[in-house]
Amino acid sequence: MAQLVQQYLDRILAEHAGVSDGVLADYIPELAGVDPEGFALSLSSADGHVYETGSTAVEFTIQSISKPFTYALALDSLGQAAVDARIGVEPSGEAFNEISVDKTSKTPKNPMINAGAIAAASLVPGATADERFDALHDFYSGFAGRRLELDHDVYASEKATGNRNRAIAYMLASFGVLEGDPDEALDVYFRQCSLKVTSTDLARMAVTLARGGVNPATGRRVTNAAVVKRTLSVMVTCGMYDAAGDWVSAVGMPAKSGVGGGIVAVLPGQLGIGTYSPRLDAKGNSVRGVRVCRSLSEQLGLHFLSVARDSRATLRAVYEPRDNVRVYETHGDLLFSGAELLVRTVDRDRGRFEVAILDVSRVDDIDDAARSMLSGMSAELRSQNKVGYLVDPDGIVIRTGSDFEQVRYLCVDDAVEAAEQALRRGFAG
């Protein structure tokens, strides 16, 4: 039954697999040498369950997706006031590698452009570049829930070809934004861009942000909620190069992309997404990655401005009024991630009941994605010789033709009674 979500993701990936628009980044030879067909999508639920589809084993360099995480570490280590004194939070409207600072403050406009990212790397505490990189490396790995590795070739290339970034670092030093040796800050920055991730690492990093800094897979708190709030805010306004406006209106999730072909997207409180496809559009964002995120958002109702409530509130209680009968009581808004949790919980329990009673009488709102998952769940139960009853007094799930149509009850007692009779007759499916 958990394959319902899997099937959604497989289908969304397949819908865009044929798209071949865009070009590989070629400012360093390593990026131009990757397989252009690599295509992966990973999604982590708020409790750390990961779904993945496509080439999720392919590792690629994190590149600019590192920027929000370094910014978060700077905030975490120095506090917001000290970081704000060096790096702004305004969209720049300029290219990501523009050699510029804010005219008045003489500080980088935001931490998602190279100037701000190099400044953030220089703020990470440590006596040497190695120490600072180690701190970053640990921090990112805490988000991913595994030790990330460095791509030494990409690092060497970034370093050999990074004159523009050198110009930025020396400009920042001249304005007093960078303390210490600019080459040391650059070295940390080149290494952070060269860490390797998979789409699944990105989904896990995203969900750790979605959970306010706790990695749900490891249970470890990596940073605090105030740092996450600030980081996500900057991702909303500045995360997608010069396409932030389009992205926010069409997809509606704080996100960051990188020229390595990755995108990380966060639905606060609910889920994290990682995508990979290395062909980029003119703005530097992964063509298929953007399309996949757009489809996910549209089809599963993930836009953050349309999400009213926290999905963790969805499952209110699970109990067993009789042997072989389990009641799943839901409340709040039943949207994609709540339905996902419900379907996965019912699936996990399937050896423990003959009849599952789903009580939606306290649900305020339900969307089409959740409705269709419940319908899929009902069909799936039947194929396992079990049955799903629905307690839906207001008819919010039931639509003509829905799989639940014949098994709708007005209250839990009626459903339990019907389940007892059915079990007594030896009927279970």
- Applying CB under 6 A, which residues contact ligand GLU? 63-64, 96-97, 114, 158, 165, 193, 258-259, 284
* 55 labelled ligand-binding: no
Could you list the active site residues?
64, 67, 189, 241, 259
Alpha-carbon distance 301 to 370, whole Å?
Answer: 9
> Minimum distance between the CB of residue 41 and ligand GLU, rounded to whole angstroms?
20
What sign results for the dihedral spanned by CA atoms 402, 404, 406, 410? negative
> Minimum distance between the CB of residue 194 and ligand GLU, rounded to whole angstroms?
8
Q: What single letter denotes the amino acid at residue 276?
A: Y
> Minimum distance between the CB of residue 338 and ligand GLU, rounded to whole angstroms?
34
Which candidate, 332, 340, 373, places its Cα nearest to that of 270? Answer: 340
Alpha-carbon distance 261 to 309, whole Å?
Answer: 32
| Cβ pair 29, 261 in contact under 8 A | no
What sign results for the dihedral spanned by CA atoms 249, 253, 256, 258? negative
Helix (H) or strand (E) holding 67: helix 66-78
Tally of CB atoms within 10 A around 205: 30
Tokens standing for residue 399: 């639509």
What's the alpha-carbon Rg for the chain, to the nearest Å? Answer: 24
Q: In the complex with ligand GLU, which residue's Cβ is closer, 5 or 188? A: 188
* 276 labelled ligand-binding: no
> Minimum distance between the CB of residue 25 and ligand GLU, rounded to whole angstroms?
8
* 402 labelled ligand-binding: no
* 51 labelled ligand-binding: no
* 409 labelled ligand-binding: no
> Minimum distance between the CB of residue 42 and ligand GLU, rounded to whole angstroms?
19
What sign results for the dihedral spanned by CA atoms 363, 366, 370, 376? positive
| Cβ pair 30, 193 in contact under 8 A | no
How remote is the C-alpha of 321 from its chain's centroid? 37
Q: In the complex with ligand GLU, which residue's Cβ is closer, 9 or 65? A: 65
How remote is the C-alpha of 158 from its chain's centroid? 27
Q: What single letter denotes the amino acid at residue 387?
A: V
> Minimum distance between the CB of residue 197 and ligand GLU, rounded to whole angstroms?
12
Helix (H) or strand (E) holding 363: strand 355-366
Q: What single letter denotes the amino acid at residue 331?
A: H
From residue 105, alpha-carbon distances to 86, 160, 375 in Å are 9, 31, 56
Cβ burial 126-160 (10 Å sphere, 16+ → b, else e): eeebeebbebbbebbbbbbbeebeebeebbebbbe
* 27 labelled ligand-binding: no
* 165 labelled ligand-binding: yes
> Minimum distance between the CB of residue 162 and ligand GLU, rounded to whole angstroms?
7
Where would I find the H helices in 216-276? Answer: 225-238, 244-250
Residues tagged in the binding site annotation for substrate: 64, 114, 158, 165, 189, 241, 259
